[in-house]
A and B are shown apart, each in its own frame.
Chain A
Amino acid sequence: MSTVARKKSVIWDYLTTVDHKKIAILYLIAGGFFFLVGGLEALFIRIQLAKPNNDFLVGGLYNQVLTMHGTTMIFLAAMPLIFAMMNAVVPIQIGARDVAFPFLNALGFWLFFFGGVFLNCSWFLGGAPDAGWTSYASLSLESPGHGIDFYVLGLQISGFGTLMGGINFLVTIINMRAPGMTYMRMPMFTWASFVTSALILFAFPPLTVGLVFMMMDRLFGGNFFHPAQGGNTIIWEHLFWIFGHPEVYILVLPAFGIFSEIFATFSKKRLFGYSSMVFATVLIGFLGFMVWAHHMFTTGMGPIANAIFAVATMAIAVPTGIKIFNWLFTMWGGNIRFTTPMLYAVAFIPSFVMGGVTGVMNAAAAADYQYHDSYFVVAHFHYVIVGGVVFALLAGVHYWWPKMFGKMLNEALGKTTFWLFLIGFHLTFFIQHFLGLMGMPRRVFTYLPGQGFETGNLISTVGAFFMAAATIILLVNVIITTAKGKKAEADAWGVGRTLEWAVASPPPEYNFAQTPLVRGLDALWIEKMEGKKGLTPAEPLGDIHMPNSSILPFVISLGLFIAAFGFMYHNQHSWGLFVGIGGLLITLGSMFLRSVIDDHGFHIHKEEIMEAEKGVKA
């Protein structure tokens, strides 16, 4: 069976795969692609704002680009790239052969993918959504055309995918840990993924509720957000931010996790204050749900609510501060090697601290009346999301690339990317704090001369081009490495501490020939320090049971993709309803097939494994 699967074409293999490592690659490619799209949109924004009264992108079109930039970057780039890292690393870090539900894992990916493609189809079908990534209800209900419908339907589809991914990782981390891998021995990235998955579980349903309300209002004559009919638009703001604020932590906690791994690895030291790091992560996740209304200080909630949410928001700074100092003290006394991933990690500290402190400034409700919806806030959240999340993703990609693809990325090019990106990032966003304080509102497509905004905006635009150049060099690096990169060892950096560095690069389909026995935090490091070559096995060598690949996740998602088109057009075209129902039937039919067809998977035999492992050890 396994030999049969291998003969199929690469494309079919990836369309049907349920292997977490291949799904990681799918997430990486799709997320990377959308990152480029979102980046291009950002460049357009900066070009338009380079000088006052510019006419490169005007009015409604600018709003579309702005909306798609935010939506793409959050939902279609950052989230899937985080999932790429989680898929590539977490199962191996806990000593498992795959995630708990491989089929669901594939389904999650394809849902996200089709949701993202659907959203971007809007560009070719009458215009993209234009009410900002927050899509506040009064504006989004007024918005003509189908842009907002693409947003509402596309995000529902991709949101299902994310929710499934979250549940899958929760179950995986709870159930699939190798013997000896207690919770307090889990690597920090796994911990972060665990908490993030829990946040996804609680944060995405409110978004879905909001999206369903909006879909009802826009497509099926609902009245959830029409004040004249007893609806209320502020409800959307709450639902959106009850999702939206935790979303920040959904992104940034795995980023923290990635950096925790990198700091420890390249300082050759155990993570300082591991238990307080775990505690801080959980606390941030918990508090992350208590602060959503700080996005709404100017909505008119009154002083009591504003004061409570202000103080709660400030409280988050404490666990975040704990983390910063723990990272610093992980490096303290260490033997720091400045590889590309480590450069990102090091640069992350001051960059993210900047974003953190402006976050505390924003938390001061009375002062936030000035910052809110100004460029100050734009600067703040880009410091957090680029300085935190994007730096982490770039670091993680460089760090785990050898593990995922078996080849080392070029360090010289990697460092060039890093410096260009770092300089470009600060050039672009630092000045925006001041633009905001000088009175420049956010989401404006132009500004008149004579208000003191010219220089700042020009500098900001120049910075954006630095980041673009960095991205191009990264792509070159990827191409060169794929063509003729240096082959990576199992312990690619030579200083790996966690289990993923114990298996071959790239890992075999089954990850571990024998499930390892985990004897403490940094399981591999412990073995290495005792002079052992490999891990201590927890089981004898035997046949390994593997799940079969399947095209059904792809078809289920495709069905929803078709259905979304149908329902979107059902008010104008009579075929809409049929296409909508047809699409749903495809989805439900495939789900039915999945339920009735017995699929027992297959076994990789002991002999095959021994053969394969010989190749690695030699």
Chain B
Amino acid sequence: MKKWLLNWRLFSLFSVMALLLAGCGKPFLSTLQPAGEVADMQYSLMLLSTAIMVLVIVVVTIIFVYVVIRFRQRKGEEKKIPKQVEGSHTLEIIWTVIPIILLLILAVPTVSATFKLSDVKPMNKEKRDKHTVVVNVRANLYWWEFEYPDYGIITSQELVVPTNERVYFNLKASDVKHSFWIPAVGGKMDTNTDNKNQFWLEFDQKAADKAGGIFYGKCAELCGPSHALMDFKVKPLPRKEFDQWVEKMKNAKPVVTDSVAKEGEAIFNKSCIGCHAVTPVDKRPEQARTAPNLANFGDRTRIAGILEHNEENLKKWLKDPNSVKPGNKMAGTYGNLTDDQINALTKYLMSLKVE
């Protein structure tokens, strides 16, 4: 009977909390609206720990309020000397043992989840399963590169992944430490300059639909002046569409028909190609890949990770990148462009599409 009551209480506490928390934030960004297996696991740990902690807070608050009201000095009691109590072994044992039990309740699922989240065996198999999707994430001041080693393609700023299956990641940084975080889909992992980190995420199709087909990603480690602007986007696709996307990427080449865009291409090939590639298949070593791959630039939702994707903003970026992202590594590397040149480049860049 008692146990049933306790269960029921815990359950209602949980559901009230879940309701309250779910009201928080945006479905494409909030950790409180988990959009995949990892975020789910972490969310249940959050709920469990919050429940335990709320319990603790409630107990402390009750005693606290009682004590502060009941034992305050009243008029005429100024001279009263209360009994000097040394302590109580029973009480002390109680408030040592109960917290230990509460912590154990939390520790067990914590340890188990920690191990589950680090299970990256499938990506490290001698012969990787054909279906296992692996992405090499390379974080750079202030942009992201996503390489699909098994398909030989590279994209930047917008990660494309299949839904409803585990996707595995190799993570590293090429300049300073960053941290790879897609809050709605799962916790972060640092991209170090020293070593390669590995983890996995799963992107839930239903949640992706609810989020409008895009999740927001963030850099979570202070990395310089534009750390706050080192955003990226995630496009989760059903497996079939993902496979189609990969195929298109494998064969993508710039197709330029418009004459202004042709002009832009010429300028690009002179001033920009040293850093930026325009085909997803980029065989240069990573040290040479010093800028975002622009092969599918026209399909993106943002410019430089943050500006809305339109011609006006692209011109703004090309004119003065520093006004958009202070300290970025493109500013000042390609000389001054005339307005005509910028217009031509804009036409050309906007035509770079694979979809």
Contact = CB atoms under 8 A, between A and B. Distances in A.
Do A and B interact with each other, yes or no? yes
Nearest to B45: A367
Contacts of B177: 136, 138-139, 233
A121 interface: no
A366 B88 contact: no
Interface in B298-315: 306
A336 B70 CA distance: 9
Contacts of B92: 273, 276, 322, 325-326
Contacts of A334: 71, 82
Interface of B: 21, 24-26, 29-32, 39, 41-42, 45-46, 49-50, 52-53, 56-57, 60-61, 63-64, 67-68, 71-73, 77, 80-88, 91-92, 95-96, 99-100, 103, 106-107, 110-111, 113-118, 171, 173, 175-177, 179, 181, 183-184, 186-190, 192-195, 197, 216, 218-229, 231, 306, 326-327
Bin the interface of chain A by size.
Answer: 35 or more
A334 B21 CA distance: 39
B63 A443 contact: no
A317 interface: yes
B197 A300 contact: yes
Contacts of A361: 46, 49-50, 53
Interface stretch (A30-38, A204-212, A301-309): A301-309
A233 B29 contact: no
B221 A333 contact: no
Contact of B189 (A311, A322, A365, A369): A369
Given A59-B327, A138-B177, A338-B73, 19 more contacts: A138-B192, A139-B222, A139-B223, A269-B82, A298-B179, A298-B187, A325-B91, A333-B71, A335-B73, A338-B72, A350-B60, A360-B49, A366-B42, A369-B187, A370-B31, A374-B220, A437-B24, A437-B31, A438-B26
B110 A310 contact: yes
Interface stretch (A148-156, A407-415, A445-453, A483-491): A445-453
5 contacts: A269-B85, A318-B100, A367-B113, A369-B42, A437-B24
Given A318-B103, A369-B117, A272 B87 contact: yes
Nearest to A374: B220
Q: Determine the main DSSP class of A at the interface with B.
A: helix
B326 A328 contact: no
B216 A366 contact: no
Interface in A128-167: 131-132, 136, 138-139, 142
A104 interface: no
A299 interface: yes
A438 B220 contact: no
Contact of B176 (A59, A138, A310): A138
Nearest to A135: B222
Contacts of A63: 222, 224-225, 227
Contact of B24 (A328, A363, A438, A444): A438
Which of A275, A332, A338: most chain B CB closer than 10 A?
A: A332
B29 A373 contact: no
A529 B115 CA distance: 59
B71 A336 contact: yes
A357 B326 contact: no
Given A138-B173, A335-B81, A357-B53, A300 B114 contact: no
A267 to B, nearest CB: 7
Nearest to B228: A444
B222 A443 contact: yes
B187 A366 contact: yes
A353 B227 contact: no
Contacts of B222: 63, 131-132, 136, 139, 442-443
B232 to A, nearest CB: 13
Contact of A335 (B80, B103, B190): B80
A603 to B, nearest CB: 40
Given A139-B223, A272-B87, A373-B179, A303 B107 contact: no
B109 to A, nearest CB: 8
Contact of B45 (A314, A321, A366): A366
Contacts of B183: 370, 374, 438-439
A159 B326 CA distance: 34
A372 to B, nearest CB: 6
Contact of B227 (A268, A324, A444): A444
A222 interface: no
B328 to A, nearest CB: 10
B111 A333 contact: no
A276 B193 contact: no
